[in-house]
A = this chain, B = another copy of it.
């Protein structure tokens, strides 16, 4: 059985859960309680010295980092290599978007959500302005096409989708981004789609 070391609220963990759903692969969730600093406990550091979730344990093969988990699952459980195209140009084009997801998107779109939800300090208006620039690049890249890479969905879409959508929790709308909005709908209509992490319930 495959175990995903997971945190419900994390957009990076969600990427793995989404791909499990899309591939129709069964797995077991092991929630890591970051509020109790479980990620710093010796048992967790032994599987990921970088103390981040998600981590995958597939019968002893341990994979850390959300992009690496996507590459692993797509290469291992999609024999047709639809989700991670096998051609050099296909792999490299996906890689461009994995980098965009881990840098530009994580540093701006994920920040808008985290600041908006009060999960971290920061200037929301400033974060939103940077986020607009990143959304504009996505919008331009999706204009006139259905998916980020090739003519079908790939792990590039899985990697970029969550935080692009979740900026709504940081007070942004997608009204100015029709191509992104249409892309969201296409992703959300895929067989096996898994809902995004819910907005946390405000504490009384």
Please state the number of chain copies in the assembly: 2
Interface residue? A91 (CB, 8 A): yes
In Å, the complex CA distance between A71 and B96 comes to: 10
In Å, the complex CA distance between A25 and B9 comes to: 45
Q: How far is the CB of A48 from chain B (nearest CB, A)?
A: 10
Besides A64-B96, A75-B92, A103-B103, 13 more A-B contacts (Cβ < 8 Å) are A49-B140, A50-B100, A50-B137, A63-B96, A65-B95, A65-B96, A67-B95, A68-B99, A69-B92, A71-B95, A72-B89, A75-B88, A99-B102
User: Out of B72, B88, B99, B140, which one reaches A88, CB within 8 Å?
Assistant: B72
Beta-carbon contacts under 8 Å, A66-109 to B? 67-69, 71-72, 75-76, 87-89, 91-93, 95-96, 98-100, 102-104
CB-based contact B91/A72 at 8 Å: yes
In Å, the complex CA distance between A89 and B98 comes to: 17
Interface residue? A61 (CB, 8 A): yes
Contacts of A103 in B (CB 8 A): 102-103
- What are the nearest 8 A-B pairs in CB distance? A72-B92, A76-B88, A75-B88, A68-B95, A68-B96, A68-B92, A65-B99, A71-B95
Q: Interface readout for A93-134 with B: 1 if CB under 8 Å, 0 if not?
A: 101101110111000000000000000000000000000000
In Å, the complex CA distance between A61 and B87 comes to: 12
In Å, the complex CA distance between A88 and B71 comes to: 7
